[in-house]
Structure 1
Amino acid sequence: MAYQEFSPHPALRPYVACLWASQAAAGPSRHRVLPDNCVDILWQDSGAEPFAVGMMSAPIWVPTVRPVRTVAVRFKPAAASLFLGVPLHPLADTRAGLPELWGRGNVDRLNDALWQPGMTTAAQLRLVEAALLARLAGAGPVVPSLGAHAVAAIEASHGTVRIEQLAAALGVSRQHFSLRFRQQVGIAPKLFARICRFRQASALLVGPADVATVSARCGYFDQSHLIRDFHDFAGTTPDAWR
């Protein structure tokens, strides 16, 4: 499958990790998608409705039976609710049709424009950016949320910060912190931190470091905890991943 990422419009960069486009070839196939602590919106030329994909807690295999073109936006953690207009925790491990979130008329007009004959990927992404900029303008002044502050701290520590300490640093109880985090980010803070640490470990294992070294460097108590995360988030073992 051909896949390419693109930098977003400057005004969208605080909220959007990237825009992306892909083209799946003909013939039965499937590809694995891992949890990445992000929420995406996808538009496809298959005739299906555009949809938002919530935070994932496990890997999924996406089947393809015929050629499919996709253009999409990937939001940074804690940013998607600004554009979707809903709390994010009901979207975890599922998808929602975009008409339910943006309204049927708005979605149909954009989708029809995206798949006009002769549309280039660059032109399609400009249309997506225009729709996102309009949503951003309609949201009014943006104040960084508790979830955004927490995400920054968790990512800075590569998932090793203690949730109790983070809640205390933000001046709230752990229960209140967890509730607000799930609403604003989409999953529980401990799960978000585990995925963050797993992503660092999986990236390091592509290089020359061995499993024991990566386990220690990423702050795992022992290799069994690293193995568990690979089972949960990649459906494989660290050695097989290498």
Structure 2
Amino acid sequence: MSYREYRPHPALAPHVACLWTLRVAGPVSATAPHVHRVLPDNCIDILWQDGGTAAFAVGMMSASILVPASRPVRTVGVRFKPGAAGLFLGLPLAELTDTRAGLADLWGSAAAARLDDALWTSELADAQRVAILERELLGRLALAGPGQPTLALRAVAAFEAAHGDLRIESVAERLGVSRQHFALQFRQQVGLSPKLFARICRFRRALALLREPGRTEDMTTLAADCGYFDQSHLIRDFHDFANAAPGGL
């Protein structure tokens, strides 16, 4: 399996975390597929694959999923920053949570087919396919306009800066709204509740620290560093979001 990320065009950078390519090479089979675990990352992706698979958007995830590949497959995708996909998809992001939607339903069948043809009809290098997607996204951004920093996006920035170690009430108070209004707007514009979003921020921070070379400290210290009440809360989040113990990833 070969995975690579590409920096977005500067005009896309406020909205797009990266463009990416993935190649799963043979041999794979329906009886013994290659299986890849995808963890929640507070982002929404659109994926285009060769072999006649229709392009689709994957919404915010509240738990990990296992993705099998029963044939060699090439994928090119775009990963949006939290809360930014709505500008390009044109629907409340809560509608996509823990599910997927065909791109033909979101962008129209003609636009989806045109893009599939551009990506897969000719043999192209990965960087050429990324450039095609970038041009498509730049065109859609120009039509949508720059967008304004919404309440939810301001909250996303606060949660990410603190790695999720913030009380929901304090964020709502900082934004000058009630907790109920904040929670409703956040879920519609981002796709998860603010509490769940913050938990995933903490989980991803803990996972990143665990994967640092030479990291040997115990789970109690790691839990304290990441804003968990105790070690058991850290372990619970790993089971909830990765279906594994901290040492099993």
TM-score if structure 1 supplies the norm length?
0.98
Q: Residues of 2 paired with 1:12 and 1:116: CA distance?
A: 26
What is the one-letter code of the residue matched to 1:46?
A: G
Give the corresponding residue for 2:51.
Answer: 46
1:203 positional shift? 1.0
Task: Output the CA distance in 2 between the equivalents of 1:20 and 1:234.
Answer: 22
Shift of 1:239: 2.7
Counterpart in the other structure of 1:21? 21
Q: What is the distance in 2 between the residues matched to 1:169 and 1:129? A: 35
* Mapped partners of 1:85, 1:208: distance in 2: 45
Q: CA deviation at 1:141?
A: 3.9
- Asked if 2 retains the 8 angstrom alpha-carbon contact of 1:38 and 1:55, the reply is yes
Confirm or deny that 1:199 pairs with 2:204: yes
Counterparts of 1:209 and 1:139 in 2: how far apart (Å)?
47
The reply to whether residue 129 of structure 1 matches residue 134 of structure 2 is yes
The question of 1:218 aligning with 2:223 is answered: no
- Matched to 2:47, the amino acid is L
Q: What one-letter code is carried by the residue in structure 2 that aligns with 1:230?
A: F
Matched, 1:33 2:41: no
| CA deviation after TM superposition for structure 1 residue 240, in Å | 2.4
Separation in structure 2 between the aligned mates of residue 200 and residue 210 of structure 1, nearest angstrom:
15
Amino acid at match of 1:217: D
Letter in 1 for 2:210: L
Q: What is the distance in 2 between the residues matched to 1:110 and 1:50? A: 9
Matching of residues 1-242 of structure 1 within 5 Å: 1-26=1-26, 27=28, 28-206=33-211, 207-241=215-249
Is contact 1:205-1:211 (8 Å) kept? no
Which whole-Å CA distance do the structure 2 matches of 1:53 and 1:134 have between them? Answer: 21
Partners of 2:139 and 2:87 lie apart in 1 by 12
TM-score, normalised by the number of residues in structure 2: 0.95
Paired residues in the alignment total 241
Note if contact 1:84-1:102 (Cα within 8 Å) is conserved in structure 2. yes
Unaligned runs of 5+ in 1: none
- Kept in 2, the 8 Å contact 1:211–1:239? The answer is no
CA distance in 1, matches of 2:208, 2:145: 37
1:171-200, Cα deviation, whole Å (9 max, x unpaired): 111111011101111110000000000000
SS at match of 1:83: helix
Give the deviation of 1:201 after TM superposition. Answer: 0.4
Secondary structure, counterpart of 2:66 in structure 1: strand
Deviation at 1:122, TM superposition (A): 1.1
Unaligned runs of 5+ in 2: none
Cα shift at 1:147: 1.1
Please list the CA deviations of residues 10-59 of structure 1 after superposition, one character each: whole Å capped at 9, or x if unmatched.
10000000000000122121010000000000000031110000000000
Change (3 A) 1:205 1:141: closer
SS at match of 1:12: coil
Q: Distance in 2 between matches of 1:42 and 1:159?
A: 27
3-state SS of 1:11 partner? coil
